Amino acid sequence: MASVRKDIVVSITTPMPHRYIYVPRGSPYKTLNCRKKAREEGYDVYVVNDAKGRQMGIRVPITIFERVQEKFEETEVSRAKAMKRRDEKMNTEFSNSVLAQFPKIPTEEVPNIVEQAMKKHSGRVGRTGTLDISEKAQLGVRAYIRHKYTDYDELLKNNVSREDARAQIYEKVDKMVLEWGGSLKEASNKTADYSTDDIGKKIARKTTLKTKFTIRSRARARTAKKRSQRSSSAPPTL
């Protein structure tokens, strides 16, 4: 049985290993399966970072990628159907949470709120897995009110800072939240009424830091192991 190997971190300028191919970020299916199969078969997986340490993609053997690509094309229809079912379920749960927490909200507003907060690949609050559905619904509604019913966006266009702009429109948001039957208990800081984009950025920063910590921890462990092996193999001192 082939041994499982650890990822090797390289830069984009590092020469490509023989018979390897670069797989950029963007398709979780390809990235996850290429990494999994390469490890299972005992191949090195190279994580490619940019100059700031952000992961850009991975390098894996060409044969591994070709098999994953073939499977990707074979299962594209079934995966699309499964993803549609998941999205519909998430949208329904989000919609139900909005209606439960804002019982007086005009029903025609709910689909628009769901569409804005649940937009895919946007980093918006509805897509994050770090908040429960109740928190996502609260933030999603407040963001929707802020952008549609206040002059928040206009203030930003006029070079008003986001903190000052939020402070200026905060009372209007609170007023509509109350009109829609919502609660203000979650909104105690007038400049921390995070928009959906803020949530996405915070999650991205946390993920990057976690990845860096894991990579550094593994590097330290490998260094310690090598030192231990050298120490144990050295001849005894007479």
Q: Is the pLDDT of residue 207 over 50?
A: no
d(CA 30, CA 10): 19
**Phi and psi torsions of 218, nearest 5°:** -65, -40
- pLDDT at position 236: 44
- pLDDT at position 199: 45
Instruction: Spell out the domain ranges in the chain.
Output: 1-74, 103-201
Mean pLDDT of the 75-85 span: 90
Mean pLDDT of the 169-193 span: 76
Mean pLDDT of the 23-49 span: 94
Q: How confident is the model at residue 159 (pLDDT cuts 50, 70, 90)?
A: very high
CB atoms within 10 A of CB 174: 17
Mean pLDDT of the 71-90 span: 90
d(CA 11, CA 47): 8
Mean pLDDT of all residues belonging to the chain: 81
**CA 225 to each of CA 4, 7, 42, 161, 218: distance values in angstroms, whole numbers, following the listed order:** 16, 16, 20, 50, 10
Mean pLDDT of the 120-138 span: 72
pTM, two decimals, is 0.57
- pLDDT at position 201: 46
CA nearest neighbour of 18 among 63, 66, 50: 63
- pLDDT at position 6: 78
- Greater confidence (88 vs 203) lies with 88
Q: How confident is the model at residue 59 (pLDDT cuts 50, 70, 90)?
A: very high
CATH number belonging to domain 1-74: 3.30.70
* Cα angle 152-153-158, degrees, rounded to a multiple of 5: 100
d(CA 187, CA 178): 12
Mean pLDDT of the 90-119 span: 92
- pLDDT at position 122: 52
Between strands 20-24 and 46-49, the pairing is: unpaired
**CA 194 to each of CA 19, 45, 143, 159, 187: distance values in angstroms, whole numbers, following the listed order:** 46, 37, 8, 19, 10
Mean pLDDT of the 179-200 span: 58
